[in-house]
Structure 1
Amino acid sequence: MLTSLSIKNYALIDTLHVNFNDGFSIITGETGAGKSILLGGLSLILGKRADLSSLKDTTRKCIIEAAFDISDYKLKSLFKAEDFDYESQTIIRREILPSGKSRAFVNDSPVNLSSLQLLGERLIDIHSQHQTLELTSNEFQFQVIDALANNDKNLQGYKEELKVYKGLQKELKELLTFQAEAIKEHDYNSFLLNELVEANLIDGELETLEEEYETLNNVEGIKEKLDEAHHLLNEEEVGVLSTLTTLKNTFQKLSGLSSKYEDLFNRVNSSLIEMDDVFNEVNTLKDGLEVDPARLETVDAKLKIIHNLLQKHVASNVSELIKIKNDLEEKVSITENLDDTIQKKQLEIEAKTAELDAISKTIHENRTEAIPKLKKQLENILAGLGMPNAQFKIETIYSDTFFTNGKDELSFLFSANKGGNFNELKKAASGGELSRIMLAIKSVLSKYIKLPTIMFDEIDTGVSGEISNKMGDIMLQMSKTMQVFSITHLPQIAAKGHSHFKVYKEDIDNTTQTNLVKLDHDERVVEIAQMLGGIEMSSSAIAHAKELLN
């Protein structure tokens, strides 16, 4: 509920602060006193766009702040989804700067207007004769029926299952699209895969094959060089090994004379050992070297295959080719197994369809049972509001389509006159009638669900005293379960409020200002008497006012 409202530098309001109670609150004031200004300021709190014309003094910023007690509103999930800081006593603030820039805050955290509008819809419902559009929408009409049908949990479950169902349908559509494209590419992918499989690629083999190819292709030259090395190492008297052996023996004889000679001996001996190892390696290489034209041809063929594949697939090494092969295997495998995957997905959709059908059927049955109750309550209320011949014809037709709230198509028809044709509300009811129908519907809803604070803005315009008295009774009854405001010109309604506020204008320092004040009992008597008989109050008007209040 709205607990307080503060307005600074807005339109004709310089500074205003007022606290509100629960129950039924009345707002009155002469035409032009500024009730629309008050509603305008409240609308900014609910996310309406603002401009510089809203500023009373364009050199100062405008600040509008409202406090709400939302402990019973079940809004924690909304606060979490919108990333608001949840407080049971929540404060919303709007600021309009002289630059024209507007800012909004929820519990001192900045928020954007779309998020504020979403929250505002759950806090205050401002309703006037010109704001009955939602009444004619199927979405709102379903909400009314579902409130009486106690369909809240069923609808929540349905929406969760519908989300899964649509996700499965999307996945199936993507699979079918992928299959159609994959079939076109399957033969080509299979051909490419077979090429790579037949190549029997091994990571790192390109370098090994290239080295083997160079050896086999130059075997005569290599053999000649190895023979030359063998000769240089092992030729008698002048070979490297013979020379090092002689040098070793020479230093061995000197090693006993000085450590310097011993060091030279050790170094020469190490060189001899190393050269002897080189000699043995040369012999091994010579023994393993042979002319093998067949192997050369095999290696050359494999190298050509690898280089062709590298060029075809724009790859830089065998490792990339192996990855391409693995990717192609996956694509071909997926294509070949798509029928099974699609069939499984279709079975999942069938199972989810059955679940949705079951929930939809329950929702439909609950609605069918609730509609006569709704029809009876609305017609009874409207009869007391001067529409004795008002009739509703409400039907839900179970369809084959999953809508956002079930499988029902709704026909919500109305006739205001006896023997008249039934038609859609927006065609069958006048503005004043729509206003009374909305009041009736809100009255019924307040018995079944927790409604936000509602502010009726002069919905009693053009209504007779007897009907206005009934309207006041309905609002008073609603206020037992919710906070209700009524901006009214009718004393019969004004007298029924638990609290009474007056909007008035006054001139201060040659400047007109709008203000709002809470009236005590005596002030209420005066205000209602003036509503009955004008500024020049008669004793009968005062007596009548007291009678109404009592």
Structure 2
Amino acid sequence: MIQRLQIRNYAIIEELRLDFADGLSIITGETGAGKSIVLGALNLILGGRADTKTLFNPEEKCVIEGRFSLAAYDLQSFFAENDLDYDEELIIRREITPSGKSRAFVNDTPANLKVLQDLGSTLIDLHQQFDTLYINNPTFQLELLDALAGQREAVVSYRKAYAQWQELRRQLAQLHEEQARARREQEFLEFQVNEFNEAALLPDEQDALESERHRLSNAEEIKQLTSGAFHFLSEDDNAVTDQLASIALRLYPLAHGDAKLKVLYERFESLRLELEELASELEAFGEDTEVSPERLQEVEDRLSLIYRLQAKHAVKTTEDLLRIQEELSSRLGQFADLDEAIAKRTAAKDKLLQQLLKDGAALRAGRQRVAPQFAKSVQEQLADLSMENAQLQVDFQALEKPGPYGLDEVQVLFSANKGGRLQSIKTAASGGEMSRLALVTKSLVASAMKLPTLIFDEIDAGVSGDVAQKMGRILTDLSRHHQVVVITHSPQVASRADRHYFVYKQDKEGVERTITRVRELNAEERVRSIAVMLSQNPPSESALTNARELIEG
């Protein structure tokens, strides 16, 4: 509900503040006093277009601020989706600068006009002449029937299942696209994986092969060199190891009498033994080295295969190749996973479809059950509001597949004239007829569904006193469940107010300028204001008496 509206520097409003409450708030005033200007300012914070021509003072910015309570609305998800901070007390502010720049804020966070429009349509339902809004909205018409049928929870359950069904359909479409791409890729991937499988690569294989190739390529030289080194160290007449052994034999007894020499001896002996071992290993290495052109060719061929795969996949090691092989194999495995995922989601989608068809049929039955009585009730109440020939019918059209609200589209068809062709409300109803139709339909569901703050602008235009009195009763009943604001020229409607605001023009002191002001009337001021509406200004005693009777009645 709206709690407060503050306007500064807009049209002929210098500064104005309206505090609203629950129930029925009535706004009256002379023609041209600025009632429609107040609505124009309200429309700006609901996302309406801005114009610098509306600035009261063209050198200052215009600021319009609305304060709302969100306790009755489930808007947390809306705020989350739009990256806005949620609080049960909401402030929407709109600013228009002299340069023409317009800015909007939701709880001090900048917001675009689309967010304001979506949020505003949830908070305020503004009925003006030729303004259809909710009453002509097929979705609202469905919600209205569901409220009358007492199946709003069933609709919530259906919509949840529908959202899941739509998500599964989206996932399946994506999976089928992936599958089509996969089929084009599969043959090429299989070729690459087969190439890797045939190569049968091993970790660190490249280093070992390159080392073996080097040894095979130099086998004869290695054998000659290692054999010569072995003979030089161990086999010749003056072999190095024999000479070192002789020195060690002579040094040994001397080392036991000198600690420092003993250390040197131990080092010498260690080197002698190491040299003997080295000689043996050189001999063994030479003997093990094979001169094999056949094996060298095998190694060269194997390395060529590895180098070719590395060049093809732009890597430098066998480890990288093995990683690529694993990735390719994994991608091939995903093709099978893709088929399984499609089958699983298809089964879940088909199951949800059957549930939607069942639940949608139940929703259709509930709507069709209440539709005739709804149409009859609307016609009866419209007859009380001087629309005796009004006809209304709910037309159901079956959908080819489940929709977001069920298996049907509905359209409320209307004719205001006897024998007139039933048409859509937007086509068939004038502005005044639209407002009365909106009032009646919403009064029928007032206790059954949540509605935004309802604002009616001159809904009683052109109706008689008796009809206006009946309209006032309907507004009173409606305001027991929802916040209602009515701009009216009818004393019968005005007499129903829980709060009565009077809009008037006043000359500003010191400058030749007229400004709009508003004040809430006290009990005696209400009597006088309604009496003026009944007769003249100043009002007669009989008008004052009549005004009191209207208020007390």
Question: What's the TM-score once normalised by structure 2's chain length?
Answer: 0.91
- The answer on 1:514 being equivalent to 2:552 is no
Alpha carbons 1:247, 1:268 under 8 Å: kept: no
The aligned amino acid for 1:446 is A
Alpha carbons 1:364, 1:398 under 8 Å: kept: no
Alpha carbons 2:141, 2:411 under 8 Å: kept: no
CA distance in 2 between counterparts of 1:25 and 1:516 reads 13
CA distance in 1 between counterparts of 2:246 and 2:11 reads 117
Q: What RMSD, in angstroms, separates the aligned Cα atoms of the two structures?
A: 2.7
Equivalence for 1:465 = 465
CA distance in 2 between counterparts of 1:21 and 1:289 reads 103
Shift of 1:71: 2.9
Q: Secondary structure at the match of 2:451?
A: coil
Matches within 5 A, 1:330-409: 330-335=330-335, 339-409=339-409
Shift of 1:27: 0.4
Q: Secondary structure at the match of 1:321?
A: helix
The aligned amino acid for 1:472 is G
CA distance in 1 between counterparts of 2:31 and 2:435 reads 20
> Deviation digits for residues 220-248 of structure 1, max 9, x if unmatched?
11111111221232244643323433443
> Deviation digits for residues 415-467 of structure 1, max 9, x if unmatched?
22233222222222223222221121222231311222211111222233332
CA distance in 2 between counterparts of 1:273 and 1:101 reads 95
5+ residue gaps in structure 1? none
Q: Could you say if the C-alpha distance between residues 414 and 21 of structure 1 is closer, same or farther in structure 2, counting changes exceeding 3 Å?
A: same
- The answer on 1:426 being equivalent to 2:426 is yes
Q: Secondary structure at the match of 1:503?
A: strand
Alpha carbons 2:27, 2:485 under 8 Å: kept: yes
CA distance in 2 between counterparts of 1:241 and 1:452 reads 108
Equivalence for 2:310 = 310
Alpha carbons 1:216, 1:291 under 8 Å: kept: yes
Q: Which moved more, 1:237-246 or 1:523-532?
A: 237-246
Alpha carbons 2:203, 2:318 under 8 Å: kept: yes
Matches within 5 A, 1:444-483: 444-483=444-483
Alpha carbons 2:132, 2:426 under 8 Å: kept: no
CA distance in 2 between counterparts of 1:376 and 1:107 reads 44
Which residue of 540, 543, 546 corresponds with 1:544? 546
> Deviation digits for residues 76-130 of structure 1, max 9, x if unmatched?
4544554554444444444445565555444555555443433332222221112
Q: Which moved more, 1:411-420 or 1:110-119?
A: 110-119
- Percent sequence identity over aligned pairs: 40
Equivalence for 1:132 = 132
Shift of 1:500: 1.0
Shift of 1:249: 4.0
> Deviation digits for residues 473-517 of structure 1, max 9, x if unmatched?
211111111111110112221122122111111112223221110
- The answer on 1:186 being equivalent to 2:186 is yes
> Deviation digits for residues 304-334 of structure 1, max 9, x if unmatched?
2222222333332222222332233234344
Matches within 5 A, 1:41-440: 41-96=41-96, 101-108=101-108, 111-236=111-236, 238-256=238-256, 258-335=258-335, 339-440=339-440
CA distance in 1 between counterparts of 2:499 and 2:454 reads 15
CA distance in 2 between counterparts of 1:3 and 1:341 reads 52
Shift of 1:303: 1.8
The aligned amino acid for 1:477 is D
Q: Could you say if the C-alpha distance between residues 247 and 288 of structure 1 is closer, same or farther in structure 2, counting changes exceeding 3 Å?
A: same
Q: Secondary structure at the match of 2:485?
A: strand
CA distance in 1 between counterparts of 2:262 and 2:542 reads 142
Q: Secondary structure at the match of 2:447?
A: coil
Q: Could you say if the C-alpha distance between residues 8 and 181 of structure 1 is closer, same or farther in structure 2, counting changes exceeding 3 Å?
A: closer
Q: Could you say if the C-alpha distance between residues 242 and 10 of structure 1 is closer, same or farther in structure 2, counting changes exceeding 3 Å?
A: farther
CA distance in 1 between counterparts of 2:301 and 2:449 reads 83
Alpha carbons 1:33, 1:504 under 8 Å: kept: yes
The aligned amino acid for 2:141 is Q
Q: Could you say if the C-alpha distance between residues 102 and 253 of structure 1 is closer, same or farther in structure 2, counting changes exceeding 3 Å?
A: farther
CA distance in 2 between counterparts of 1:243 and 1:339 reads 80
Alpha carbons 2:372, 2:393 under 8 Å: kept: no
CA distance in 1 between counterparts of 2:504 and 2:355 reads 59
Shift of 1:162: 1.9
CA distance in 1 between counterparts of 2:78 and 2:359 reads 25
CA distance in 2 between counterparts of 1:432 and 1:32 reads 20
Equivalence for 2:498 = 498
The aligned amino acid for 1:527 is S
Q: Could you say if the C-alpha distance between residues 244 and 43 of structure 1 is closer, same or farther in structure 2, counting changes exceeding 3 Å?
A: farther
CA distance in 2 between counterparts of 1:336 and 1:73 reads 47
The aligned amino acid for 2:446 is S
Q: Could you say if the C-alpha distance between residues 285 and 262 of structure 1 is closer, same or farther in structure 2, counting changes exceeding 3 Å?
A: same
Q: Could you say if the C-alpha distance between residues 341 and 82 of structure 1 is closer, same or farther in structure 2, counting changes exceeding 3 Å?
A: closer
CA distance in 1 between counterparts of 2:242 and 2:61 reads 106
CA distance in 2 between counterparts of 1:463 and 1:441 reads 18
Q: Could you say if the C-alpha distance between residues 526 and 105 of structure 1 is closer, same or farther in structure 2, counting changes exceeding 3 Å?
A: same
Shift of 1:199: 1.0
Q: Secondary structure at the match of 1:122?
A: helix
Alpha carbons 2:472, 2:492 under 8 Å: kept: yes
Q: Secondary structure at the match of 2:461?
A: coil
Alpha carbons 2:233, 2:279 under 8 Å: kept: yes
Q: Which moved more, 1:97-106 or 1:457-466?
A: 97-106
Q: Could you say if the C-alpha distance between residues 424 and 336 of structure 1 is closer, same or farther in structure 2, counting changes exceeding 3 Å?
A: same
Q: Secondary structure at the match of 1:32?
A: coil
Q: Secondary structure at the match of 1:210?
A: helix
Q: Could you say if the C-alpha distance between residues 181 and 90 of structure 1 is closer, same or farther in structure 2, counting changes exceeding 3 Å?
A: closer
Alpha carbons 2:28, 2:502 under 8 Å: kept: yes
Q: Could you say if the C-alpha distance between residues 420 and 113 of structure 1 is closer, same or farther in structure 2, counting changes exceeding 3 Å?
A: closer
CA distance in 2 between counterparts of 1:36 and 1:316 reads 78
CA distance in 1 between counterparts of 2:448 and 2:456 reads 20
Q: Which moved more, 1:266-275 or 1:240-249?
A: 240-249
Q: Could you say if the C-alpha distance between residues 46 and 425 of structure 1 is closer, same or farther in structure 2, counting changes exceeding 3 Å?
A: closer
> Deviation digits for residues 138-180 of structure 1, max 9, x if unmatched?
2222222222123322222222222222222223223333333
Q: Could you say if the C-alpha distance between residues 339 and 71 of structure 1 is closer, same or farther in structure 2, counting changes exceeding 3 Å?
A: closer
Question: What's the TM-score once normalised by structure 1's chain length?
Answer: 0.91
